[in-house]
Chain A
Amino acid sequence: MAELATTLLLNALSAALALSLVALGLAIIYGFMGVINLAHGAFLTVGAYIAWVMPERLGISFWVALVLAPIIVGVIGAFIERVVIRHLYDRLLDTILATWGISLALVELVKLAFGTTSKSVSNPLSGSIDLGVTVYPAYRLFLIGFCIVILVGVFMFFKSTDVGVRLRAVIQDPDAASLQGLNKTRMYQYSFASGAALAGLGGAAIAPITTVNPTMGVTYLLESFFAVILGGTGALIAVVPGSIIVAGSANIMTFMISPILAQTIVFVFVIVAMIVRPQGIVPEAWHE
């Protein structure tokens, strides 16, 4: 019983943390720029394909691919911000349409380059580790630790570093920040690129435990939106409780009740939460 409970908790934790990583990217782009990024799932897909193509086709180690994926997707994000998004600031509906178009284009490019069949990323840590209470797959333990390190790193970046503080200044009052000599355009570009990079990193990190195909991003796009809406956009850290409810509780309820019912309960919960607490489920004290 303790063994099963631990396994289920770790399953839920790994799903929730992986979603937090992806949802954090979405929250940064929305929170800092007010852009609803429907290309987020496509960024994740590109990251996963990088984690596939490098070890399988180019002989580069998976671990190198895991480092390069966010960098490459971040550069793609910066480019897209420069040629498309920059011209659409403050036009919410247009950014939704434009990012959806970008998403379709990226997915079609992936299909042209690698075909439409599913790909497999071989598990770089294929064994299991004996934790005493239970034996758990090694890569999932790595994933849990890795996500925690990245999440803490990103939150520290925004709290304590110079660039982080400037970014937050731009969000709070773009015009005042401009008068202070902060380059709003540059900050927006950083935001979009780093949001995209997190999606790419998430895609690469989950690739070995799922399957890589051109449409894999859709589910994550949806779940990320739920996590962000649920947590609220007042504080970046809100994506973590949001993700725990969306992915973690669904995971546990799937075991206890049934998969379809679990998902329905989560959807209903999100809808009720949006009505009752449109500002998000986290306390206002967390807001920046």
Chain B
Amino acid sequence: MSSSGNEVLTVGANLPLSQGWEPYGNTQVRAAEIAIEEINDNGGLDGKEVELVVEDNQVDPQTARQMAERLVSEKNANVLMGPISSATRVATSSVLERLQVPSLYASQYEGPAADDYCNKWMFQLGDIPSQKIEPLIPWLIEKHGESFYLLGDDYSWPKQTNEAVKQAVDNNGGEVLEEEYVSLDTTDFTSIIPRIEQEDPDVLFMTVTGGGPAAIQNQMQEQGVRDQFAQVGLAHGQGVIQGASPEATEGVYSCHAYLEGIENDANTEFIEKYRNEHGEDALVNYFTGPAYNAIKLLEDAVDRSGGTSPDEIREGLQGASASSIMGETEIESDNQMTVGTFLGQVNSEQKYEILESFDPVSPSGSCGDI
């Protein structure tokens, strides 16, 4: 059932709002709401008011699939948004073809290594390894040295990210001393830290998630090893690092397509609206910006194709561009966003200060016509 011709354009958000993923799902809902409000204040899209309907996929692949179906068949969504975790994305991708509805996936993920890369209906609007790992590694080697210790959680995103890290370290004349994984939800790193210390790396490159980043920072601080190697944490996000003391996190690097500290007028205005609406302490992290930007790309897609049916939105998205809080973004090929990334470093107030920006990198184009 197509909803074109209705007076509303429905965006169906299929996001994790429970199971410990609240800090990620909730901020995407808030960011999308602000972008939608701006669009509606300007008369909507193709004369239609945009509305957001939200479902909690509970970070569960089966539920994510059901929510996608419910949002389309019961809530008449013209376009979906989400999910976040890779496992739920792969599950959702598998039903989009049947539902004939595009989805806006606004998260960092593993890129071309993903099983569902080149899905005709899934639009990947977050950064991929070629956009941040490839520029970040040479920067780290130059600044801190060439030996790396990789520590991640034992699931697909850390492992596939580390594949890209190993490749980049190798290409730039560096060396990976050790690659190690811990089970999800590990918060006791006390015996792993001496192991890292023994290897004596220049850089500790972390893809631990959940409570792990805060716990390992606290425990490294406690053992007094933090000045022995640089620390990079790709999942050391806002709302997570606050679980460690400020001394334990100062100096940690992270690299993302969006960080709160990005300096442009659009971002300043966005942050002000976000704080006014949700309070001074409201969480902004690397999931916030991509969600806002995704709605801006949707706006351009409808402008380009001139219609709001799912198929017209899909056609409009291929080639859509937006200049928003993340800078210049475009969907050139592979249904994957071309975007630049920012290297941030945690300051003494546990906020990321931007040290460097890396130029946008186009996806490989390996999907051809999809």
Contacts and interface: CB of A to CB of B under 8 A. Distances in A.
Contacts of A230: none
Interface string A259-274: 1100100000000000
Nearest to A262: B191
B228 interface: no
Interface residues of B, number: 37
B186 A259 contact: yes
Contacts of A212: 243
Nearest to A135: B224
B191 A251 contact: yes
Contacts of A258: 180
Given A111-B22, A251-B190, A120 B154 contact: no
**Which 10 residue pairs spanning A and B have beta carbons closest together?**
A118-B243, A211-B243, A211-B214, A117-B239, A116-B22, A255-B191, A254-B191, A11-B190, A259-B182, A137-B222
Nearest to A216: B211
Interface string A1-26: 00010011001101100000000000
A213 B219 contact: no
15 contacts: A8-B194, A11-B191, A116-B22, A117-B239, A117-B242, A123-B245, A137-B223, A210-B211, A215-B19, A215-B210, A216-B187, A218-B185, A219-B187, A254-B191, A259-B183
A211 B191 contact: no
A211 B181 contact: no
A117 B194 contact: no
Interface in A187-245: 209-216, 218-219
Interface string A128-163: 100000010101100000000000000000000000
A122 interface: yes
B245 A215 contact: no
Contacts of B248: 120
B240 A117 contact: yes
Interface of B: 19-20, 22-23, 26, 154, 180-183, 185-188, 190-192, 194-195, 210-211, 214-215, 218-219, 222-224, 239-245, 248, 283
B27 to A, nearest CB: 11
A139 B223 CA distance: 11
Contact of A210 (B22, B187, B192, B194): B187
A218 B188 CA distance: 13
Interface of A: 4, 7-8, 11-12, 14-15, 111, 116-120, 122-123, 128, 135, 137, 139-140, 209-216, 218-219, 247, 251-252, 254-255, 258-260, 263
A263 B219 contact: no
B244 A254 contact: no
A260 B181 contact: yes
Nearest to A107: B20
Contacts of B223: 137
Nearest to A111: B22
Given A4-B194, A117-B283, A259-B186, A139 B222 contact: yes
A15 B222 contact: no
A263 B183 contact: yes
A8 B191 CA distance: 7
Contacts, number: 107
A255 B194 contact: yes
Given A4-B194, A258-B180, A259-B180, A120 B222 contact: no
A259 B192 contact: yes
A176 B17 CA distance: 52
A254 B183 CA distance: 12
Given A213-B20, A259-B180, A120 B185 contact: no
Given A210-B187, A260-B183, A215 B239 contact: no
B23 A117 contact: yes
Given A116-B23, A117-B240, A215-B20, A15 B214 contact: no
Given A15-B190, A128-B224, 5 more contacts: A211-B218, A213-B210, A251-B190, A251-B191, A255-B191
Nearest to B224: A128
Contact of B195 (A119, A216, A255): A255
A250 to B, nearest CB: 8
A28 B298 CA distance: 58
A263 B211 CA distance: 18
Contacts of A219: 185-187
Contacts of B192: 254-255, 259
Contact of A252 (B154, B188, B191, B241): B191
Nearest to A19: B188
Given A4-B194, A215-B211, A259-B181, A119 B188 contact: no
Given A140-B222, A215-B20, A251-B190, A118 B211 contact: yes
Given A15-B190, A118-B242, A139-B222, A211 B215 contact: yes
B20 A214 contact: yes
B180 A211 contact: no
Contacts of B26: 116
Which of B180, B190, B214, B215 lies at the interface centre, i.e. has the most chain A CB atoms within 10 A of its CB? B190
A14 B240 CA distance: 25
Which of B191, B194, B223 lies at the interface centre, i.e. has the most chain A CB atoms within 10 A of its CB? B191
B209 to A, nearest CB: 12
Contacts of A218: 185
Nearest to B281: A115
B193 to A, nearest CB: 9
Contacts of B190: 11, 14-15, 251
Nearest to B248: A120
Nearest to A223: B188
Contact of B218 (A116, A120, A259): A120
Contacts of A211: 187, 211, 214-215, 218, 243-244
